[in-house]
Chain A
Amino acid sequence: MNERIKALYKTHIIEKAKDETHTGQLTDATHVIEAYNPLCGDQFTLYLKVEDDVVKELKFNGYGCSISKASTAVLAESILGKSLTDFGKVWSDFMEIVNENAKASPEQISNNEYLLAFAAAREFPERKTCATLSWEALAKALITH
């Protein structure tokens, strides 16, 4: 097995893709967000309960590859309990971590090992959209709301 593929999947991605802590649905969501990648058919629905700018609850369900699943699970963990304003920083850190053209190394951007697990996506630019699928959808939905 080569090291690149191990780095991509084995750090935390396979583990997080199987993590079901936040899978499910909310009936009293304030935001229901569809994340859909028309190129591959991956699709997640994110249910958020936001009160006074703070994300009180988040559940998601859907279908996707392990990278998109894991990144959605990590998104859920990263945003829960945070104010949307504070989350803005985490969001841009994540985007920088997966950005193969970023000047900063992933470790300079964050020390969160779960976010850093996606740094290997820099080596696999064709998989970047998997990593950012739910993150992009969330930002788009919250900005337009």
Chain B
Amino acid sequence: MTNHFPIFSKHTPLGQPLIYLDSAASTQKPQVVIDTITDFYTNEYASTGRGSYWPANAASAKYEQVRHQVASFLNAKSDREIVFTSGTTDAINKVARSFVYPTLSPGDCVVTTTMEHHSNYLPWQQICKEKKCELVVAPLNQNGILNTLALEAQLAKGAKFLALTAVSNVLGTQNDVTAIVSLAHQYDVPVLVDAAQAVAHYTIDVQAWDCDFLVFSGHKCYGSTGVGVLYGKTDYLAEMQPANYGGGMVQKVNTIDSSFRPIPHKHEAGTPNVAGVIGLGAALEFLQKKGLENVYEHEQALTVYALNQLAAMDSVTIYGSVEQRGPVISFNLDGVHPHDLSTFLNEQGICIRAGHHCAQPLMQWLDVAATARVSFGMYNTKVDIDQLVAGLKSAYQFFR
């Protein structure tokens, strides 16, 4: 698999092969994505819009073709439900500002969970603060799984919105999105699903999940940085005011007022990241060719292998539950601070993440200031994990 990813044919500045265990932060790029983007800039570049010349019309057609591809990737009902954004963060902020914010009155509440990334936490916290509303943070059970009883109690009190991650970027916990959305809908609470940590790892089906909004970033599913997707049900996207105003989204503009294009375009003001979108198309096609079922199986096997290897070390503490886990493992090595560990492993070409992983509420819940984290992509192998374990053993000795 690494042969599809040119970075793995290079060596680190210290001359080792690269062992990349930080795909939860961002995945490496396959040659086909790099080539697609290069080819677009080299051979048929123009911005999208209504340029009635080649290559503008070709670029527009490709851009819209990727919209169709994303719709089918997510099993959306229509292309109109797909809005291109600059990433997950941008998409969540759009929904918070333009969909939820106008519906809030003082005293209302918005619900999120203890396992959210700051991106799915701060936008809600800030709109609640501005509207004098409460942000309720649904608790986790001891094993890091969402406490659905406590969640239901909050929903029953009349929450205005629920924002929930599909997979925790720290614990790897994979939420039962279908069950949670259905629970929320019993209380008429719309749900946004943060699929940033799901999109590259298993099949998303927005109709089966029945979520109202779903967001993800291209760079976490083998595409480029600077592009993301906001899926929203047609009625909600139509009802939602644009978060940004500018070119490309208007029907008619005069000095008094303006009218806007129908969805999805009314939510895409300004020149979009055309190359990023076209690259995303190549990335999703690549993922689908590999088969998400195969990717899932491969990564699950790796995760189980890694969990077993790590659990066999007395000096390692693993956080979170073993079941229902995406390919993300947070841990600590006894007596070794995660930053020292990552510096140490980096000298061996092993890339791991150290810190709070943009999830400070979760860190407080875990009662740790920081953890080490490894996460896998389709290109990782058991050899990578064996190297990691060997690295952990020598780090443990080194820092004694």
Bound CA–CA A50/B216 (angstroms): 53
Bound CA–CA A63/B339 (angstroms): 12
Contact of A40 among B14, B344, B356, B394 (CB under 8 A): B356
Bound CA–CA A133/B192 (angstroms): 38
Provided the pairs A5-B343, A64-B337, A127-B339 are in contact, do residues A40 and B398 lie with their beta carbons within 8 angstroms?
Answer: no
Contact of B14 among A1, A2, A8, A66 (CB under 8 A): A2
Contact of B343 among A8, A39, A41 (CB under 8 A): A8
Q: Is residue B313 contacting chain A, with contact meaning CB distance below 8 A?
A: no
With both beta carbons as reference points, the residue of chain A lying nearest to B369 in the complex is identified as A41
Instruction: Report yes or no: A9 in contact with B398, Cβ–Cβ below 8 A.
Output: yes
Instruction: Report yes or no: A42 in contact with B399, Cβ–Cβ below 8 A.
Output: no
Bound CA–CA A71/B300 (angstroms): 41
Contact of A41 among B14, B340, B344, B356 (CB under 8 A): B356
Q: Is residue B334 contacting chain A, with contact meaning CB distance below 8 A?
A: no
Bound CA–CA A42/B356 (angstroms): 10
Q: Is residue A65 contacting chain B, with contact meaning CB distance below 8 A?
A: yes
What is the size category of the interface that chain B forms with chain A? 10 to 19
Query: Which of A4, A65, A66 gathers the greatest number of chain B CB atoms within 10 Å?
Result: A65
Bound CA–CA A110/B363 (angstroms): 40
Bound CA–CA A130/B394 (angstroms): 22
Q: Is residue B272 contacting chain A, with contact meaning CB distance below 8 A?
A: no
**Which residues of chain A in 120-135 are interfacial with respect to chain B, using CB atoms and an 8 Å cutoff?**
124, 126-127, 130
In the complex, 12 of the A-B residue pairs with CB atoms within 8 angstroms, ordered by the A residue number, are A5-B347, A8-B343, A9-B398, A9-B399, A14-B399, A40-B369, A43-B369, A63-B369, A64-B337, A65-B340, A66-B337, A66-B399
Q: Contacts of B394 on A, CB cut-off 8 Å? A: 1
Q: Is residue B370 contacting chain A, with contact meaning CB distance below 8 A?
A: yes
Chain A nearest CB, measured from B343 CB (Å): 6
Contact of A127 among B338, B343, B360 (CB under 8 A): B343
What is the 8 Å Cβ interface bit string for chain B, positions 331-352, against chain A (1 contact, 0 not)?
A: 0000001111001100100000
Q: Contacts of A126 on B, CB cut-off 8 Å? A: 343
Provided the pairs A1-B398, A2-B14 are in contact, do residues A66 and B340 lie with their beta carbons within 8 angstroms?
Answer: yes
**Which residues of chain A in 2-17 are interfacial with respect to chain B, using CB atoms and an 8 Å cutoff?**
2, 4-5, 8-9, 14
Instruction: Report yes or no: A41 in contact with B347, Cβ–Cβ below 8 A.
Output: no
Bound CA–CA A66/B339 (angstroms): 9
**Which residues of chain B in 325-382 are interfacial with respect to chain A, using CB atoms and an 8 Å cutoff?**
337-340, 343-344, 347, 354-356, 360, 363, 369-370
What is the 8 Å Cβ interface bit string for chain B, positions 28-64, against chain A (1 contact, 0 not)?
A: 0000000000000000000000000000000000000
Nearest 6 A-B pairs (CB), nearest first? A65-B337, A41-B369, A65-B339, A5-B347, A40-B355, A41-B356
Provided the pairs A41-B363, A43-B369 are in contact, do residues A124 and B356 lie with their beta carbons within 8 angstroms?
Answer: no
Bound CA–CA A40/B394 (angstroms): 23
Chain A nearest CB, measured from B296 CB (Å): 32
With both beta carbons as reference points, the residue of chain A lying nearest to B337 in the complex is identified as A65
Provided the pairs A40-B355, A66-B337 are in contact, do residues A124 and B369 lie with their beta carbons within 8 angstroms?
Answer: no
